[in-house]
């Protein structure tokens, strides 16, 4: 039986949900997927770090209520999160990076990825920062070290988009995409259609846990902009940085705008898009757009996300699914491991 030893960097919502999945589903995955997972290290800014070559019981990890520095109480544990040492030295095959997204320089997640790849570990991540801001460098580093860098969860959580488009639509002539890529702003627009003002709708999203205390990144389009950079670079071969993407959010939309759209059988949506022009240049933007109700993205409601990928040979192919959520994002990490397994292990079988 193939076993992958995993180091979890960051033990917030996503990696915690991933540990829950390991606790609940490892047996099933063994049968269904042909491998099992073994958590050998965890680091977290608050909790400290723990390393165990034999594996750390996933159920204990998720059921224990650790205090600040609480990993120190575990065998092989410490109150400090020495990420670099753990990433470079823990006996992990795969490092799962799920710390916070830094939209400016991607740190410290970019360094986490770099240390792991340099040390010959595969990297899987749900963190938009390293993928939007340093993907080219990290991919080159992965190639040089004969390991994989996988990041399906950076866009639309576990809904397959990046890998789907690159592998399943290869040769179809990808030339653009448009998507609803932020559940919070989509939820707010939906509530405004029911008559709420912008601030009231935001308040409701915050009460439901959809929006953060500072909702700027969601409603001003900054979160979508990072995702547009990722999709444009991955799907269209662009080399965009966030500064290349014009960005306008939904905060300037009034109840009057929403109502007048509805009268004309239209609906406002925050759309992230990119298109390859005649000259080959990629033009990318984030902006509210008034869609006719029969537009493929007009019916995407609530916290659901969707991307419509435009191709020469198939026209538009649209993928709709969850855009966020702890378990949904943790599944993206599993899908990255499935991809690594396919690349590594299937190849090994072929060589035998």
Residues that bind its own copies (CB under 8 A): 21, 25, 29, 32-33, 157-160, 163-164, 167-172, 294, 296, 298-299, 301, 313-322, 327-328, 330-331, 334-335, 338, 342-343, 346-348, 350-351
Neighbours of 311 (CB within 10 A): 17
Please state the closest distance from residue 138 (CB atom) to its own copies, in A. 21
Whether 150 has a binding-site annotation, put simply, is no
- Angle CA(241)–CA(245)–CA(247) in degrees, nearest 5? 135
Please state the closest distance from residue 325 (CB atom) to its own copies, in A. 9
Going 332 to 232 to 179 to 168, the CA torsion angle's sign is negative
Q: What are the backbone dihedrals phi and psi of residue 129, each rounded to the nearest 5 degrees, phi first?
A: -55, -60
Please state the closest distance from residue 153 (CB atom) to its own copies, in A. 11
Nearer to its own copies, 21 or 135 (CB): 21
Taking the C-alpha atoms of residue 53 and residue 65, their distance in angstroms, rounded to an integer, is: 23
Whether 139 has a binding-site annotation, put simply, is no
Taking the C-alpha atoms of residue 170 and residue 296, their distance in angstroms, rounded to an integer, is: 22
Nearer to its own copies, 197 or 302 (CB): 302
Please state the closest distance from residue 130 (CB atom) to its own copies, in A. 22
Residue 217 DSSP label: H
Taking the C-alpha atoms of residue 158 and residue 161, their distance in angstroms, rounded to an integer, is: 9
Taking the C-alpha atoms of residue 123 and residue 94, their distance in angstroms, rounded to an integer, is: 6
Q: Among residues 139, 227, 263, 348, which one is catalytic?
A: 227
Nearer to its own copies, 237 or 277 (CB): 237
Nearer to its own copies, 187 or 331 (CB): 331
3-class secondary-structure state, position 46: coil
Please state the closest distance from residue 247 (CB atom) to its own copies, in A. 27
Taking the C-alpha atoms of residue 92 and residue 268, their distance in angstroms, rounded to an integer, is: 46
Is 73 tagged catalytic? Answer: no
Taking the C-alpha atoms of residue 305 and residue 109, their distance in angstroms, rounded to an integer, is: 25
Q: Which two tokens stand for residue 41?
A: 């290290």
Nearer to its own copies, 36 or 111 (CB): 36
3-class secondary-structure state, position 318: strand
Q: Residues at the annotated binding site?
A: 128, 212
Q: Residues at the annotated binding site for NADPH?
A: 128
- Residues serving a catalytic function are 227
């Amino acid at each position: 039986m193939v076993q992958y030893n995993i180091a979890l960097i960051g033990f917030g919502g996503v990696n915690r949900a991933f540990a829950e999945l390991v606790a609940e589903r490892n047996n099933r995955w063994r049968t269904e997927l042909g491998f099992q997972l073994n958590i050998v290290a965890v680091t977290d800014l608050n909790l400290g770090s723990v390393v165990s070559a034999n594996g750390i019981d996933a159920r204990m990890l998720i059921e224990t209520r650790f205090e600040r520095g609480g990993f120190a109480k575990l065998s092989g544990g410490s109150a400090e999160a020495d990420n670099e040492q753990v990433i470079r030295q823990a006996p992990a095959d795969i490092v799962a990076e799920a710390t916070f997204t830094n939209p400016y320089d991607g740190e410290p997640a970019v360094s986490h990825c770099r240390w792991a790849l340099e040390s010959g570990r595969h990297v899987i991540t749900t963190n938009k920062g390293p993928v939007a801001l340093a993907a080219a460098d990290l991919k080159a580093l992965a190639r040089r070290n004969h390991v994989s860098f996988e990041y399906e969860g950076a866009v639309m959580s576990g809904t397959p988009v990046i890998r789907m488009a690159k592998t399943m639509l290869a040769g179809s002539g990808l030339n653009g995409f448009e998507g609803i890529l932020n559940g919070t702003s989509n939820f707010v627009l939906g509530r405004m259609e029911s008559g709420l003002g912008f601030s009231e709708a935001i308040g409701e999203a915050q009460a439901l846990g959809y929006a953060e205390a500072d909702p700027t990144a969601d409603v001003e389009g900054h979160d979508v902009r990072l995702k547009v950079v990722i999709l444009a670079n991955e799907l269209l071969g662009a080399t965009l940085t966030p500064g290349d993407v014009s960005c306008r959010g939904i905060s300037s939309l009034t109840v009057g705008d929403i109502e007048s759209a509805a009268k004309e059988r239209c609906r406002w949506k925050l759309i992230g898009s990119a298109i390859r022009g005649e000259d080959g240049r990629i033009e990318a933007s984030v902006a509210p757009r008034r869609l006719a109700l029969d537009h493929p993205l007009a019916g995407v409601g609530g916290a659901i996300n969707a991307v419509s990928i435009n191709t020469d040979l198939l026209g538009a192919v649209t993928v709709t699914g969850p855009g966020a959520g702890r378990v949904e994002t943790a599944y993206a990490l599993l899908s990255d491991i499935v991809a690594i397994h396919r690349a590594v292990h299937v190849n090994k079988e072929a060589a035998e």
